[in-house]
Amino acid sequence: MSANPDISVIAPVITIDGPSASGKGTVAQLVSEKLGFHYLDSGALYRIVALAAQQNNIAWDAAEALGKLAESLNISFKNGEVYLGETNITEAVRSEEISRGASEVAIHPQVRNALFALQQSFRKAPGLVADGRDMGSVVFTDAKLKIFLTASVEVRAERRHQQYLGKGLMADFAQILHDLQQRDLRDSRRSASPLIQTPDAVPLDTTNRNIQQTVEFVLTAYKNILQN
* Rounded Cα distance, 73 and 178, in Å: 31
Chain mean position to CA 24: 8
Tens of pLDDT along the chain (228 residues) come to 334 445 445 799 999 999 988 999 999 999 999 999 999 989 899 999 999 999 999 999 999 999 999 999 998 887 778 899 999 999 899 887 898 899 899 889 999 999 998 899 899 999 999 999 899 999 999 999 999 999 999 999 999 999 888 888 788 999 999 999 998 888 888 777 788 999 999 999 999 999 999 999 999 999 999 997
Of the candidates 207, 19, 39, the residue with the CA atom closest to the CA atom of residue 99: 19
The string of DSSP codes covering the chain is -PPPPPHHHHS-EEEEE-STTSSHHHHHHHHHHHHT-EEEEHHHHHHHHHHHHHHTT--TT-HHHHHHHHHH--EEEETTEEEETTEE-TTGGGSHHHHHHHHHHTT-HHHHHHHHHHHHTT--TT-EEEEESSIIIIITTT-SEEEEEE--HHHHHHHHHHHHHHTT----HHHHHHHHHHHHHHHHH-SSS-----TTSEEEE-TT--HHHHHHHHHHHHHHHHH-
CA end-to-end span of the chain:
32
DSSP letters for 46-83: HHHHHHHHHHTT--TT-HHHHHHHHHH--EEEETTEEE
CA atoms of 75 and 80, how far apart (whole Å): 13
Report the pLDDT value the prediction gives residue 153, as an integer from 0 to 100.
Answer: 96
So where are the chain's domains?
13-222
**Is 13-222 CATH 3.40.50.150?**
no
Q: Give the dihedral sign, CA 178/183/189/195.
A: negative
pLDDT confidence of residue 76 = 84
